[in-house]
Amino acid sequence: MQQILSLFVSSALLMSSLFGARLPLPEASALSAEESVLQEADLSLQAPHAILMEASTGTILYEKDSHTSLHPASITKIMTLILIFDALANNSISLDDVVSVSEYAASMGGSQVFLEAGETQTVDTMIKCISIASANDACVAMAEYISGSEEAFVGAMNQRAAELGMQDTHFVNCCGLDTDGHMTSAYDVALMSRELTTRYPQIHDYSTIWMDTITHVTKRGSSEFGLTNTNKLIRQYEYATGLKTGSTNLAKYCLSATAVKDDIELIAVVMAAPDFKVRFQDAAALLNYGFAHCSLYTDANPPTLPELAVTGGTRDAVSLHSEGTFSYLDTAGRNLAEIQTTVQLPEFISAPVTKDQQVGQILYQYNGETLGEVPILCDEDIAKATYSDYLLKVVLKFL
Residue 77 appears among annotated catalytic residues:
yes
Nearest to 331 by CA among 32, 64, 39: 39
The active-site residue, picked from 56, 66, 111, 134, is 134
The active-site residue, picked from 77, 128, 244, 252, is 77
CA distance 265 to 256: 13
> How many other CB atoms are there within 10 angstroms of residue 262's CB atom?
9
> How many other CB atoms are there within 10 angstroms of residue 90's CB atom?
8
Nearest to 316 by CA among 348, 346, 354: 348
CA distance 118 to 218: 8
CA distance 185 to 169: 7
3-state secondary structure of 367: coil
What angle, 0 to 180 degrees and rounded to 10, lies between the N-to-C axes of helices 150-163 and 77-89?
90
Contact, 269 vs 189, CB < 8 A? yes
CA distance 173 to 61: 31
Contact, 276 vs 301, CB < 8 A? no
The per-residue DSSP string of 370-397 comes to EEEEEEEEESS-BPBPPHHHHHHHHHHH
The active-site residue, picked from 74, 207, 256, 327, is 74
Residue 74 appears among annotated catalytic residues:
yes
The angle formed by the CA atoms of residues 391, 397 and 399, to the nearest 5 degrees, is: 100
Nearest to 80 by CA among 156, 165, 169: 156
Where in the chain does DSSP place strands (E)?
49-54, 60-64, 98-100, 120-122, 211-218, 221-228, 240-248, 252-261, 264-273, 295-298, 308-311, 317-318, 320-322, 327-330, 340-344, 348-350, 358-366, 369-378
Q: Longest C-alpha distance within the chain, in Å? A: 95
Q: Which sequence positions are flagged as catalytic?
A: 74, 77, 134
